[in-house]
Structure 1
Amino acid sequence: MHLEKFSDIYQRAAKRKGGSAQLEARLAVPFSAQDVALIPDDRWLSTFSLKVFQSGMSWKVVRDKWPNFEELFFGFKPELLLMLSDEHWETKARDPKIIRHFGKVMTIKTNAEMLMDARLTHGSFAKMVSQWPADNITGLWDHLKKHGARLGGNTGPYALRQMGVDTFILSSDVESYLRNYGIIDGGRDTKKSRSAANQAFCHWQQESGRSLSEISQVIAFSCGDNRV
């Protein structure tokens, strides 16, 4: 495994994007752990649900419908949703105001349970995430996959990124880069590949002082099909 210097990756990305100033303007910066800890459960559940519905569907179509989801599902407040009977869930899943997909609708219930469990053990899901070891972000991905519903693959990481959590993402460009440099060689979502990717990102983070999110974006901008 050969780890390229992050400074070299950065310079290549800057060149492709028209200079360092233009590159920096494109980088989304994660929230601080203190800010993450303040995010209420309903916003986590809304974002998890949004990403579940966007998987395999037009992101725009889902976003256009999302105000109806917010209304139908009580603003995604877990404690209210978990009071619903099975019959209520079935009725909501058939409502024409939302995207009618019973399997995805039921992930809202499972993921609400995950949030409430975290509230019992950590005070809140947000506190659990904010205290998660920075050098084991893929462990948080595994937690979402194990305890949540349809949050495996890139769905969980994309949801975390949207919420401002500092995480890298194995997007197609990042995955391609890691494969080209022999950092991963098996399935993207295998424990071996994730561990190798995690180690590489931790190395670049120590080398550069950058967040995982910024490093991930710089790598994506340094290769693939996103040339200006």
Structure 2
Amino acid sequence: MRDYQWIHEYCLNRFGSTAALEAMLPQPRSDAELRALGDDRYLSLIALRVFRAGLKHSLVDAKWPAFEQAFFGFDPHKVVLMGAEHLERLMQDTRLIRHLGKLKSVPRNAQFVLDVQKEKGSFGALIADWPVSDIVGLWKYLAKHGSQLGGQSAPRLLRMVGKDTFIASEDMVAALKAQKIIDKAPTSQKELAAVQAAFNQWQEQSGRPLCQLSMMLAHTVNH
């Protein structure tokens, strides 16, 4: 695989200047910012990610104020009490996206948030304290314990909340294949471990967050 210097020089050549390159790169939230985000906001973002999956994001986002109202501001203590009859009533609410499976995931994820809150003090503490050197481990944890957070949903949720992570986008997978790190989209533990190891090496060489390395790597394939 290529070292970070090659990735940096490739992107510098592509964008023309250091300023242009840096302006394009995302910034993750600090651990303190992640810890300060309320559990109601985490639950809202989890639900938003679930509803965005497979749908046009702008459509979901436009309806989100109605979701905030329907789900009591995503207070997990209130949402967890929403039973089948309540969810059936929400299926009649034309302001919402009426997908029963996705609606059912919200109280389930409220329970998940409360379970983490009981163990860690807050959901933000779990997210903030998880080492980025094993970010794929956090993907696995979210997929296992949360509802409808498998596949790309866990890493995309982390990007939404501001936790540093890479995302296996089509371009990034193409770049990883070109670097001979993987030969297909990573799904197995072995493949994910190989990707994590590569990113840990590039991070050690560059000091950059994973989200920046991820974006830079994606730009090393032809568009």
Match of 1:149 in 2: 147
Instruction: Give the 3-state SS of the residue equivalent to 2:211 in structure 1.
Output: helix
Match of 1:131 in 2: 129
* Distance apart, 1:190 and its partner CA: 1.5
* Distance apart, 1:186 and its partner CA: 4.5
Q: Is the CA contact 2:80–2:111 (under 8 Å) kept in the aligned structure 1?
A: yes
Identity between Structure 1 and Structure 2 (%):
38
Instruction: Give the 3-state SS of the residue equivalent to 1:153 in structure 2.
Output: coil
Tell me how far apart the structure 2 counterparts of residues 70 and 139 of structure 1 sit (CA, whole Å).
30
Query: For 1:2-13, what aligned pairs fall within 5 Å after superposition?
Result: 3-13=1-11
Tell me how far apart the structure 2 counterparts of residues 109 and 217 of structure 1 sit (CA, whole Å).
34
Cα-Cα RMSD: 1.2
Instruction: Give the 3-state SS of the residue equivalent to 2:199 in structure 1.
Output: helix
Match of 1:78 in 2: 76
Q: Which amino acid aligns with 1:207?
A: Q
Tell me how far apart the structure 2 counterparts of residues 142 and 78 of structure 1 sit (CA, whole Å).
22
Q: Is the CA contact 1:13–1:218 (under 8 Å) kept in the aligned structure 2?
A: yes
Q: Is the CA contact 1:177–1:223 (under 8 Å) kept in the aligned structure 2?
A: yes
Instruction: Give the 3-state SS of the residue equivalent to 2:36 in structure 1.
Output: coil
Q: Is the CA contact 1:41–1:115 (under 8 Å) kept in the aligned structure 2?
A: yes
Match of 1:200 in 2: 198
Match of 1:159 in 2: 157
| TM-score, length-scaled by structure 1 | 0.94
Asked whether 1:20 is paired with 2:21, we answer no
Instruction: Give the 3-state SS of the residue equivalent to 1:142 in structure 2.
Output: helix
Tell me how far apart the structure 2 counterparts of residues 48 and 17 of structure 1 sit (CA, whole Å).
34
Query: For 1:1-228, what aligned pairs fall within 5 Å after superposition?
Result: 3-225=1-223
Tell me how far apart the structure 1 counterparts of residues 33 and 155 of structure 2 sit (CA, whole Å).
18
* Distance apart, 1:213 and its partner CA: 1.0
Q: Is the CA contact 1:10–1:222 (under 8 Å) kept in the aligned structure 2?
A: no
* Distance apart, 1:14 and its partner CA: 2.3
Which stretches in structure 2 are left out of the alignment for 5+ residues?
Answer: none
Tell me how far apart the structure 2 counterparts of residues 186 and 221 of structure 1 sit (CA, whole Å).
18
Instruction: Give the 3-state SS of the residue equivalent to 2:9 in structure 1.
Output: helix
Tell me how far apart the structure 2 counterparts of residues 202 and 126 of structure 1 sit (CA, whole Å).
23
Q: Which amino acid aligns with 1:142?
A: K
Q: Which amino acid aligns with 1:148?
A: G
Moved more, 216-225 or 120-129: 216-225
Tell me how far apart the structure 2 counterparts of residues 135 and 180 of structure 1 sit (CA, whole Å).
23
Q: Is the CA contact 2:173–2:184 (under 8 Å) kept in the aligned structure 1?
A: no
- Number of matched pairs: 223
Which stretches in structure 1 are left out of the alignment for 5+ residues?
Answer: none
Instruction: Give the 3-state SS of the residue equivalent to 1:175 in structure 2.
Output: helix
Tell me how far apart the structure 2 counterparts of residues 206 and 180 of structure 1 sit (CA, whole Å).
21
Q: Which amino acid aligns with 2:205?
A: E
| TM-score, length-scaled by structure 2 | 0.96
Q: Which amino acid aligns with 2:77?
A: E
